[in-house]
Structure 1
Amino acid sequence: MVQRRILSLWFPRLGAERLVRRMRGMPAPAFAVVGEEANRQVLTSLTAAAEAEGLYRGQPLRDALAMSPALVTRFRNPRAEAQFLTALRRWAGKFSPWVAEEPPEGLVIDLSGAAHLFGGEEGVLGAVAEDCAGLGLTVEAGIADTVGAAWALARHAGREAARVRNGDAIDQEARATRSRAAKRHWIRGGPAPVPEMPPVPQARISAPGQLRQSLAPLPLAALRIDDDTVHGLARLGLRHVGDIMGMPRAALSRRFGLGLIRRLDQALGVETEPVSPARAPLHFAVRLTLPDPIGLAEDIMAGIDRLLPALAARLRDKGRGARRVRLQLFRADQSMQEIELGLARPSADPDRLRPLLMLKLDEVDPGFGIDMLRLEAHVTEPVHARQVRGPNDPGDAPGRSAAETALDDLISKLGARVGMEAITRLAPADSHIPEKSAKILPAAWSKPAVDWPPPRTPRPLVIFRPEPLAAPEDPMPPARFRWRRRDLVTTAATGPERIAPEWWLDEPDWRSGTRDYWRVEVETGERLWLFFAHGGAVSGGWYCQGTFR
C-alpha cells in the first residue's frame, strides 16, 4: 500500500505579489494591498520590503503611512486573487492530479505515488521553489502524512508559540518600536545600520510515521483553531501542540469544544481528511475546419447542420441543455465574427437550435471567406426528462407539454430578434395595492403563473396613474363630475371596495390615505374606476385610475 503523502503550499504574499507582477518596471520599494475590515482600511498583504519597514498584516492604513510615507498601496480585489489562486492550482497539477485550493492563499496536493517522478520529495520542493521564483512568488511548503500536519509545517515551522500578552516580555514590544530597535545604537557620524532581512523559512518535511515528533514543537495555532482557543490554552500554560497530545480529551472538549479535538485528530491522522480536487469545468464546444473558404448562407448552414448533432450529443451525455449558444465564424483574413443567442428553456435538441441560428444568418459578414466554424454552448443548465403517466395526467399531458414547447420556441425566436430581456410576463404579487398586485418578470427565466388568485372585485383592463376629478368632497359617488375636459353624468355605481396601503412601506402615491374604489358607469357608456381618498399626509378627493372595456 502506498504511503499517503501531502504537500501544502502557502503563498504568504499572494495578494501583493500578484499586483507587483503587473507593475514590472515601476519602482515600488514598499508595496501593500489595502482592504476593508470592521469599517476601516487595513493592510491585507505586503511585500518583503514593506515587512522590513515594520509593517504587518492587519495594520490600519493610516498607521502604516505614518511609519512609511513612501508606501505604495492598491485596493484589494478578492475575485482577482481567487482567480489567480485557481491559475496556481492548474500550475500545481504538474506535480499530481489531486490538487485542491485552500483559500485565500494556499494549495494542498496529494503526492502519494508521484514524488519519485521529480527525484523524491526534495526534488518536488526544488521544482516548486524554482517555478515560484520564476513567477515572482514567495512560497513556503510542508510535506507530511496528513493535510493538517502539512498545513502546520508550511505555516508554523520555526516560529515561536503564542504567549499571553502581558507586556513584560521584550518580544511583546510594539511592532513599530521593534522595527527601529536596530537603529538606536549606532556610532555618531556613521550611517545607521540597515536591519537584516529575516531568513525565509525553509520547507519542512516530516518523515513517514513521524507525525507526533514533527507536530509536538509547533505552536497551537498550527492546528487550524481560532485565536480565542489559542489564547485560552495559552493562559493555562499550553503553548505547543505537544502540550495537549497526552491530555484527557474529555476535559479539553468540555473547556474548548469539539473543534479542538477534531483538528488534533485530523493532524495526527486519527480522523481522515481527504484532498478533494476541483472538478474540471464543463465545456461544450465543437468546431469544423473547412478545406476552402465559404461565403454563401447555404454553405454556412450546411456546416452548422454538421455541428449541431455533435454538440447535442455532448450535452445529452452530461444531462445538460444549452441556455446560451455562441457561433464563431473565423474568416480567411484572420478576423472573426461572433453571434450569440439565447433560449427560453434549456435544450439539447438540434431542431430547436437550428431555427434560431437561421434567424441570425442575416448578420453574418463572410468577408473574404469563412474557413472555420465553432459552435459553443457556454451557458448550460441541467435538463430532467419528463415522464408521461397518461392522457388524464394534467401535469404531464402530452398536449400541454407541446404547448409549453411551442411557447418556449416563440419566446426564443422573439428574443433572437429583440433580445430576451425585452420579453416579459406578469406574475402575481402579494399586495392589495392594485398597481402592485402583479410583477413583471423576464419570460425566458420564469414560468407562467398557474394559480393566480382572483381579486375580490373585478379589476379594470386599463389601469393608469390616478387622475383628479372635479367633483364634490363627498365620499358617495358624485352625480356629475368633470374628467379630461368632459362633463360626465353618473348612471350607476357599484362599491365601495376599501383598500389601505401597507403601513410598513412609504408609497408616495398613497399618502392621501385610505381609498374607497367604485365602478361607475356614465351616460356615454363608459365604465370608470373611481376612488375617493379620505386624506392623510396629502389632501384627498375623487380620482380616476382605470377604465373597463
Structure 2
Amino acid sequence: MPNRRILSIWFPRLAAERHIRRDPNLGQVPFAVVRDVGQAQVLASLSPLAQAAGLYEGQPLRDAHAMCADLLTRLSNVHAEAAFLGVLHRWAGKFSPWVAREAPDALVVDLTGCAHLFGGEEQLALQVEQDCIDLGLSVQLGIADTLGGAWALARFGGGQGGDHHRNGDAIDQEARATRSRAGKRRHWERGGAAPAVTMAAVQGRARIAAPGETYKALAPLPIAALRLEDSTMAQLSRLGLRRVKDLVEQPRAGLVRRFGRGLVARLDQALGALPEPVSPAPPPDRFATRMSLPDPIGLEDDVMAAIDRMLPRLCTALRKKGRGARTLRFEAYRADGTMQWMNVTVAKPSDDPDHIRPLLRLKIEDLDAGYGIDMLRLEAVLHEPIHLRTASGHLEAAEAGRARMAGPKPGSLDRLIGRLGTRLGVEAITRVQPADSHIPEKTWVTVAAAWSDPVTHWPQPTKPRPLRMWAPEPVMIPDVPRLPEVFRWRGRDHKVHSARGPERIAPEWWLDDPAWRSGQRDYWDVITAEGQRLWLFYAHGASKSSGWFCQGAFA
C-alpha cells in the first residue's frame, strides 16, 4: 500500500485575479477586492501591483487609499468566487479523482497512486503551476503525507510565509527581552512583507516533503502553519514558541492544560498522528452537447438538422441518469466570434426529444445567423429527477387507450403550457390553487402553471361564496349591526327582498392584515328587489371605524 500523499493548491489572489481575467486592464494598475466588515470595508484580495505598493489583506480601505491613491477596487462577490473555485475544482480532476474544496481559495487533492502518471510529484507540481500560469492565476503548492502538512508547505514552505501577517511572529507581539534578537531573524519571521518571488523561484523552492519526512519539513516553519487561532498564536509567541519544532519539544500535558485540546489536535493532524480525511464533493451532473460545423450555416432548416442530431444525444444522457430537462440553453457561435443564446423552459421535466424539439423550433425563428454559424451547443442548465415508470400489462394498456380516446392525451396540457411559455414566458402562464385560510379573499392563490400540479379536488366551503369578489366598497346605511330594508350602494338605492345570515368571520389574529383591522365581520347573503344577489358585511370596528360594506356578487 503506497504512502498517502496530499497536494494542497492555494490561490492567494483568487478573487482579484478573477476580475483581472475578465478585464485585463485591471492588471496594469494597483487593484484590490474589498469586503464589508461591520461598518467598514477592508482589502480581501490584492493584485501583484497592489501588494508591491505596500498594501496588505485586512487593511482598511481608507488607509489603503491614503497609501495608494491610484488603487482601484471591486466589491467581493462570494457566490461568484465560489463558482470560480468550482470551475478550478473540475480542472483539478485531471490530476486525481479525489479533489476537495477548501473555501474560499484552495483545493486539496489526494495524489495517492496518481503522481507516477505525470512523471513523479515534481513533474506534476510543474504541470499544475504551468496550467495556472496559462489561466492567469497565482498559485502556491505543497505536497506531504498529511493534509495539514501540505497546507503548511503551500503557505509557508520554501522559506516564505504566505500568510506573513498572521504568522504569530510579528515584532509588536514580542516581549521586550526578545526584541534584541529580532534583527537576527530572517525577514519573513519578523512579520514583514515577503520578498517578490518569480515563478522560476517558486518551482525551485522545496515545497514537497518526502514520504515519511513530514516533521522534518514542518519543523522550521512558524506556528501559523498549524492553522491555529490568532489568540492562540499570540499567546505562544509571548512564550517564545515560534516554530513548529519549539512546540513539538514541549510537554503535551502542559499544552493541553493551557491552550486546550485544539492546539494538540492541529499538531497531530499535521504530523499524521491524528487522521484528517479528504472529503471530496461529487461534481454536479452536467448535460451538454455541441456540434462543430465544417462550413458556416445560416438557414433555419440547417440549424434544425443540427439540433436533430444533438438533441437525441442530450436526451439519452439525461435518461441514463434518470433526469429530465427543465430549462435548456441553446448557443449559436457565429463565424465573426460573436455568440447568441436563448433559453427554452418546458412545463414538466422531460427527456423526450419529440417534446422538446417543437419548443426549440419556435425559438430558432428569432436566431440571427449573422455571417454564418460554425458551432452549436445545447445544454440542460436546469434538470430534475424523473420518476421511474412501471410497464403496464394488456388490461392497463387497454384502459389507457380508452381513456385517450375519451379525453385529452396525457401530457397535452404540459405541452400546451410549454409552447405558450416559449412565446409569452413561463411565468405568464398561471393557475389558481386552493389555500389554507378561512379569510374569504385568501382561500386561493395564483401560482405559475409550469411549476405546479393541477388541482384534482377543490375543498368546498361550509357557507356559499360569491362568484366575483372585490375590495370592500362602503354601503350608505346607518352604522348599526341590523340589516335595513333599503341601502345605497354605488350611487343607487337597493331594496332588500330577502337575506340570509349573518355568518361571522374573525380576522387572523396572528397576522397584522391592514384590510382586517376593522375586527370581526358579519356577512349577509342579500337578494335585492332587482334580482341582484350581493355579499354584504358589517364590520364591528376594532382599530378602525365600523360600518357596512359590499364585497362580492353571486352568480
On whether the aligned pair clears a TM of 0.5, the verdict is yes
Q: CA deviation at 1:39?
A: 3.4
| Partner deviation per Cα, 1:90-127 (whole Å, 9 max, x = no partner) | 55456555444322221223334444565543344444
Structure 1 match to 2:519 = 513
| Partner deviation per Cα, 1:424-472 (whole Å, 9 max, x = no partner) | 1223334333222322211111223466554342221211111111112
| Structure 2 residue 430 is the aligned partner of structure 1 residue 424 | yes
Structure 1 match to 2:58 = 58
Counterpart of 1:153 in structure 2: which amino acid? Answer: L
| Structure 1 unaligned residues grouped into runs of 5+ | 183-194
> Which whole-Å CA distance do the structure 2 matches of 1:417 and 1:250 have between them?
73
Counterpart of 2:195 in structure 1: which amino acid? Answer: P
Q: Choose the corresponding residue for 1:380, options 378, 383, 386.
A: 383
> Which whole-Å CA distance do the structure 2 matches of 1:65 and 1:141 have between them?
32
Aligned pairs for 1:351-370 (under 5 A) are: 351-357=354-360
Distance of aligned partners of 1:372 and 1:353 in 2 relative to their CA distance in 1, 3 Å threshold: same
**Aligned-partner SS, 1:85:** helix
**Conservation of the 8 A alpha-carbon contact between 2:286 and 2:380:** no
Distance of aligned partners of 1:274 and 1:376 in 2 relative to their CA distance in 1, 3 Å threshold: closer
| Structure 2 residue 265 is the aligned partner of structure 1 residue 268 | no
Structure 2 match to 1:198 = 195
> Which whole-Å CA distance do the structure 2 matches of 1:337 and 1:93 have between them?
30
| Partner deviation per Cα, 1:13-70 (whole Å, 9 max, x = no partner) | 2223443455545686643221112232111122445445553322222233344444
Structure 1 window deviating more from structure 2 (372-381 vs 418-427): it is 372-381
> How many equivalent pairs are there?
527
> Which whole-Å CA distance do the structure 2 matches of 1:254 and 1:402 have between them?
77
| Structure 2 residue 221 is the aligned partner of structure 1 residue 215 | no
Identity %: 50
> Which whole-Å CA distance do the structure 2 matches of 1:485 and 1:196 have between them?
83
Structure 2 match to 1:122 = 122
Structure 2 match to 1:2 = 2
**Conservation of the 8 A alpha-carbon contact between 1:28 and 1:72:** no
Distance of aligned partners of 1:306 and 1:62 in 2 relative to their CA distance in 1, 3 Å threshold: closer
**Aligned-partner SS, 2:411:** helix
**Aligned-partner SS, 2:7:** strand
Q: CA deviation at 1:534?
A: 2.2
Distance of aligned partners of 1:509 and 1:259 in 2 relative to their CA distance in 1, 3 Å threshold: farther
Distance of aligned partners of 1:25 and 1:55 in 2 relative to their CA distance in 1, 3 Å threshold: closer
Structure 2 match to 1:473 = 479
**Aligned-partner SS, 1:471:** coil
Q: CA deviation at 1:480?
A: 0.8
Structure 1 window deviating more from structure 2 (113-122 vs 515-524): it is 113-122
Structure 2 match to 1:186 = none
| Partner deviation per Cα, 1:353-397 (whole Å, 9 max, x = no partner) | 34545655765788999898765433321112144899999xxx9
**Conservation of the 8 A alpha-carbon contact between 1:359 and 1:416:** yes
| Structure 2 residue 351 is the aligned partner of structure 1 residue 348 | yes
Q: When you count helix as a share of all residues, which structure comes out higher?
A: 2
Q: CA deviation at 1:505?
A: 4.0
Structure 2 match to 1:408 = 414
Structure 1 match to 2:493 = 487
> Which whole-Å CA distance do the structure 2 matches of 1:384 and 1:446 have between them?
16
Counterpart of 1:138 in structure 2: which amino acid? Answer: S
Counterpart of 2:550 in structure 1: which amino acid? Answer: C
> Which whole-Å CA distance do the structure 1 matches of 2:543 and 2:424 have between them?
43
Structure 1 window deviating more from structure 2 (240-249 vs 378-387): it is 240-249
| Structure 2 residue 466 is the aligned partner of structure 1 residue 463 | no
Q: Choose the corresponding residue for 2:505, options 499, 508, 520.
A: 499
> Which whole-Å CA distance do the structure 1 matches of 2:334 and 2:60 have between them?
55
Counterpart of 1:312 in structure 2: which amino acid? Answer: C
Structure 1 window deviating more from structure 2 (163-172 vs 214-223): it is 163-172
**Conservation of the 8 A alpha-carbon contact between 2:108 and 2:278:** no
> Which whole-Å CA distance do the structure 2 matches of 1:306 and 1:129 have between them?
39
> Which whole-Å CA distance do the structure 2 matches of 1:366 and 1:21 have between them?
29
Structure 1 window deviating more from structure 2 (134-143 vs 235-244): it is 235-244
| Structure 2 residue 14 is the aligned partner of structure 1 residue 14 | yes
> Which whole-Å CA distance do the structure 1 matches of 2:296 and 2:24 have between them?
44
**Conservation of the 8 A alpha-carbon contact between 1:286 and 1:374:** yes
**Conservation of the 8 A alpha-carbon contact between 1:262 and 1:271:** no
> Which whole-Å CA distance do the structure 2 matches of 1:277 and 1:259 have between them?
27
| Structure 2 unaligned residues grouped into runs of 5+ | none
**Conservation of the 8 A alpha-carbon contact between 1:332 and 1:370:** yes
Structure 2 match to 1:106 = 106
| Structure 2 residue 38 is the aligned partner of structure 1 residue 34 | no
| Partner deviation per Cα, 1:192-215 (whole Å, 9 max, x = no partner) | xxx996355845221101123333
**Conservation of the 8 A alpha-carbon contact between 1:5 and 1:146:** yes
Structure 2 match to 1:139 = 139
CA RMSD of aligned residues (A): 4.6
